[in-house]
Amino acid sequence: MKWLVILGLVALSECMVKIPLTKIKTTQGAIREKQLLGKFLDEQSHSLSQNSDPDKKFSSHRLRNFQNIVYFGNITIGTPPQEFQVNFDTGSSDLWVPSVDCRSPSCSTHKRFNPQKSTTFQRLDQKIELIYGSGSMKGVLGRDTIQIGDLVITNQIFGLSQNQSSGVLEQVPYDGILGLAYPNLAVRGTTPVFDNLKNHKIISEPVFAFYLSSRPGNISTVMFGGVDHTYHKGKLQWVPVTQASFWQVAMSSMTINGKVVGCSHGCQAIVDTGTSLLVGPTHLVTDILKLINPKPMLDDQQVLSCDVVNSLPTLLLTINGIVYPVPPDYYVQRLTQEICFLSFQGGTETNHFGTSENWILGDVSLRLYFSVYDRGNNRIGLAPAV
């Protein structure tokens, strides 16, 4: 979520513009989000069934796909439960939702937690500030009961935002964020949700997994405590985590048409469900965009005619000796029938992940590959999604 991207659409003189990553210099725009959200809500249907084995502490939890841009699901907080939509984010470690004390415009467009209506809420004195690629929040910590599907955590510390930046956080269709990265990224003195699930043996295995579908009718899901192998094809290929903070792995190359376009001497990649795009160093991303899209539309290197998508090359990512193809159908976002958008973004050089070249593998690639996050062995499993 440090690099969450929302692609915003607005018709201005028949021009499509986008909301970019914070700190990245690119086209600015607004989002006609209410129209998109209305369409999205109409598309929702049945949820996935839960695992039927009572001895196996496993929970499969439905996620909603908003325009192939962001995935989120329901949790409840408090007694009686107050329901919220949250982004399950492997790129951060904190849980927070808006508070009734928040008067920022970005809070007023979302559900807000009311501590006075929860008999189990405990207010803590500690103030917090969290900064993401999509904005920031300031607030306080509290403690209460959290429920994700049939998984219940008591006395979970979480954030209550009292001030949120406008912009992307105001427009997103979810209320808050539930971070699933390692605990050293969390607010000091707090334990992330997944660590409490693991430490209190609420789940039987210290793993979670994501199936992020782009196909109509396929319900996306996050699963805790185990893996439903019906969501992937072939064996899971395990990749060691190189630094236990983000879900960070070593990547050996990125090629297009046999040409090395990134990671020429090896690099680090963060696997991040809270990022919409494939993000890398600006100069390399610029070269990739010029290679893929030599004749951009609207004076924007990321915008192209949808007529040419079928002729675009496949991006090949090599991770731990395995090649993971990303075809154009996945790295191109269709904005209208005629206008498409290349889902690459620069800017990782503004953050320091410990190496000179870093990439963030967001939902662009995770829609293709079922992903398993194994805290017990500090590794990520990848396999083609069904």
Strands (E), 149-233: 151-164, 176-179, 207-211, 220-224
Q: Which of the residues 94, 144, 175, 272 is marked catalytic?
A: 272
Q: Domain 227-384 maps to which CATH number in 3.30.70.860, 2.40.70.10, 1.20.20.10, 3.40.50.2000?
A: 2.40.70.10
Give the CA diameter of the chain: 61
**Token pair 């210099």: residue:** 25
SS3 109: coil
Domain with CATH 2.40.70.10 in the chain: 18-23+64-202, 227-384
SS3 297: strand
As a CATH number, domain 18-23+64-202 is 2.40.70.10
Is residue 300 annotated as part of the catalytic site, yes or no? Answer: no
Per the CB < 8 A criterion, the answer to whether 384 and 244 are in contact is no
| CA distance linking residue 117 with residue 275, whole number of Å | 33
Q: What is the CA radius of gyration of the chain?
A: 20
pLDDT given for residue 98 in this prediction: 96
pLDDT given for residue 352 in this prediction: 55
pLDDT given for residue 354 in this prediction: 56
Q: Which of the residues 89, 144, 363, 374 is marked catalytic?
A: 89
Is residue 89 annotated as part of the catalytic site, yes or no? Answer: yes
**pLDDT profile of the chain (386 residues), mean per 10:** 35 23 28 35 32 64 92 97 97 97 90 98 94 87 96 97 85 94 96 97 96 85 96 97 96 97 96 96 96 92 94 97 97 93 92 75 97 98 97
pLDDT given for residue 351 in this prediction: 67
pLDDT given for residue 374 in this prediction: 98
